[in-house]
Chains A and B, each alone.
Chain A
Amino acid sequence: MDRREGECEVTMMIRHGAALKVENCGKTFADGTCALARATLDIAQSETLVLLGPSGCGKTTLLRIVAGLEMPDAGGRVLFDGKDLTRQPIEKRNVGMVFQSYALFPNMTVAENIGYGLRIRGVSRLERAARVAELITLTNLGGLEHRRIDQLSGGQRQRVALARAVAIRPSVLLLDEPLTALDAALRERLRGELNGLLRTLGITAIYVTHDQAEAMELGDRIVVMRKGAIAQVGTPREIYFTPADRFVAEFVGAANIIEAPIESGDLILPGGRQPVGSTGSRARAVAMVRPETIRIVDADKASLTGIVDSIRFAGDRQRIIVRDAAAIPLALDVPHTIHVRAGERIGLSIAADSIRLLPAEG
């Protein structure tokens, strides 16, 4: 990297973007669909907040309320740096938006697309060209400046959409499933690039996705949503290790959800007993165990045993399904160095602190 590029990166490291507050925002559409229950969220300056949830859970609706494309139900407010912008339309909010379909202007070149927001703002041609060049470099689009949009690949379009959105130095960057339209390999690579870019820019961002891996990698905090309501807000680690309920546990990563009684601090299972790290008894408990936290030990010395049902090779690890240990088949993720055969009885060891008791749903 030459010196100039280094300098430009330093200037961009400065944190910017607004601190956001979404206050009491719900959305019921004209046709009666309640897409979003009233929600309140605080987003710190230069934080990346991920909205995660299955399709149709209201992520886009919440994003569009922040953007100003959708009015929240009466009583809801959207504040940028403490300023109430609820009544301001999107064109007055200075938000950078990356749409799921990218929505690039087909009648403009790559450079014209990226420079559009600056043109609207009346930035001089010279200044505009400089800023566009800077963004072309930043998003690895060199050489494509004069291409038309229909001459770009999916990944390139995604980057143009991103460059166009950040060109205006927005108060907040809003991204609606920007990688969903791409194939798996590209998605993974661009996810990394996007992460680097968000950190470099240090901009406040809201990122919508239904892909938990994306959410984990990109989010400073994740908002897990379900059926128009917020299920949990927390850092990726909190969401992963201490999910608030069964839905979050199952949606984020793989989880064994075990329903069993607890007797003096032990889960009573068909294959033995398993300490949960707390004393006391309960007639019915719901416990979550992540597959990678279960270790295989000698069956004779284990307090919990089961029978290997199947072994699935997953490339970087193997997933073993064990029956007869709990009421449901247990999934284990173990390294390849462990050799077991189907039908073999094995012992299972789970650290008590990697078991998470979830509220039993009524």
Chain B
Amino acid sequence: MSHKSFVWICLLPLAAVTAAFFLLPMARLLVTGAEGPRGLAEYLAILVEPRYRATLVNTVLLAAATTVATLIIATIAGLFLQRHRFPGRAVLVAILTFPLAFPGVVIGFMIILLAGRQGLIGDVSARLTGDKLVFAYSIYGLFLGYLYFSIPRVILTIMAAAQKLDPGLAEAARSLGAGPFAVLRDVILPGLAPALVASGAIAFATAMGAFGTAFTLATNIDVLPMLIYTEFTLAGNLATSAALSVGLGVMTWLILALARSFTGNSVAAAG
């Protein structure tokens, strides 16, 4: 048997599984989206109908904000943790990455404990100002939950990438007169660019599709996964929820592709 045919034989089961569990449901989803009373126009509706469109915009904005905030926080923390050795560092890394294991429901629960009606922040602010600060059920609570969810993942990626940076590059830049800010701008961030794009993409996609946190918190926010859920289970509106699902997938994919093409140059150069 030649190497080539061996590879093909190995690929066969994968192809079968891909077809059965990935491509077929996807195709079915596409078709279902067009099987409603409005037909193909269902896909148009998710962009045109104000409620759907608002939800879509909310979700994208929330996911984008989460991604940007996560990248900033995780880059600073990841670089710091990578560069400094101090007592308690291992514990700190463990605490920071602990939420990795939590499902969205637990994260939502924690946000309620923190900023809910009986939450910690509410108690403290009530004592201090007499005003009870409650934001767990707003978009801010959701934002906080998503941050909590994605920071551990991104920190780990950044730390791994920072470890691989050649320390000589920063030293070379410094020898040429670069201060800390210039080193960050010209050496560290370009070096981390591939990791930033990759982990940012994952953070973004996760935030776009996160359901558990939204479900636990959702009182007055509408994000796309929640909308799909309500359309599907409560309204029994199969076509709309299918169309929305496809829309969610396409939007996410588009924005990631866009981000990749924007950063493509620097990534290729640093890689």
A contact set with B: CB distance below 8 Å: 67, 69, 89-91, 94-97, 99, 101, 103-108, 116-117, 120-121, 148, 164-165, 168
Contacts and interface: CB of A to CB of B under 8 A. Distances in A.
Nearest to A97: B175
25 contacts: A67-B175, A69-B174, A89-B174, A90-B171, A91-B174, A91-B178, A94-B177, A95-B175, A99-B171, A99-B172, A101-B166, A101-B168, A103-B166, A103-B168, A105-B172, A105-B173, A106-B190, A106-B270, A107-B191, A116-B176, A116-B186, A117-B176, A120-B178, A164-B176, A165-B176
B250 interface: no
A117 B177 CA distance: 6
Q: Give 6 nearest A-B pairs by CB, closest first.
A: A117-B176, A103-B168, A107-B190, A103-B172, A97-B175, A107-B269
A91 B187 contact: no
Contact of A90 (B168, B174, B191, B269): B174
Contact of B171 (A69, A120, A148, A164): A69
A90 B183 CA distance: 13
Classify chain B: how many residues form its interface, as a range. 20 to 34
Given A99-B168, A120-B182, A148-B269, A105 B187 contact: yes
Given A103-B171, A107-B191, A116-B173, 12 more contacts: A67-B175, A69-B171, A91-B175, A94-B177, A97-B172, A105-B173, A105-B186, A106-B191, A107-B190, A108-B269, A120-B176, A120-B177
Nearest to A121: B177
B177 A91 contact: yes
Interface of B: 166, 168-169, 171-179, 182, 186-187, 190-191, 193, 266, 269-270
- Dominant SS among interface residues on chain B: helix
A168 B176 contact: yes
A148 B190 CA distance: 14
Contacts of B187: 105
B238 to A, nearest CB: 49
Contacts of A120: 173, 176-178, 182
Interface centre among B171, B173, B177, B190 (most CB of A within 10 A): B177
A103 B178 contact: no
B193 to A, nearest CB: 8
B172 A106 contact: no
Contacts of B190: 105-107
A94 B177 CA distance: 7
Contact of A91 (B168, B169, B179, B193): B179
Given A103-B166, A106-B269, A116-B186, A97 B177 contact: no
Contacts of B191: 106-107
A109 to B, nearest CB: 9
Nearest to B267: A107
A106 B166 CA distance: 11
Contacts of B174: 69, 89-91
Given A116-B186, A148-B269, A105 B169 contact: yes
A96 B190 CA distance: 23
Nearest to B176: A117
B197 to A, nearest CB: 14
Contacts of B193: 107
A281 to B, nearest CB: 56
A101 B168 CA distance: 8
Interface centre among B179, B191, B269 (most CB of A within 10 A): B269
B196 to A, nearest CB: 13
B182 A97 contact: no
A168 B175 CA distance: 10
A201 B190 CA distance: 33
Contacts of A104: 172
A312 B40 CA distance: 87
A69 B182 CA distance: 17
A148 B179 CA distance: 24
Contacts of A117: 176-177
B270 to A, nearest CB: 5
Nearest to B265: A107
Nearest to B172: A103
A251 B49 CA distance: 83
Contacts of A121: 177
A39 to B, nearest CB: 22
Contacts of A69: 171, 174-175
Contact of B177 (A103, A106, A168): A168
Contacts of B172: 97, 99, 103-105, 164
Nearest to A101: B168
A8 B224 CA distance: 67
Nearest to A91: B174
A38 B187 CA distance: 34
A190 to B, nearest CB: 19
Nearest to A122: B177
A67 B186 CA distance: 21
Contacts of B270: 106-107
Nearest to B271: A106
Contacts of A99: 168, 171-172
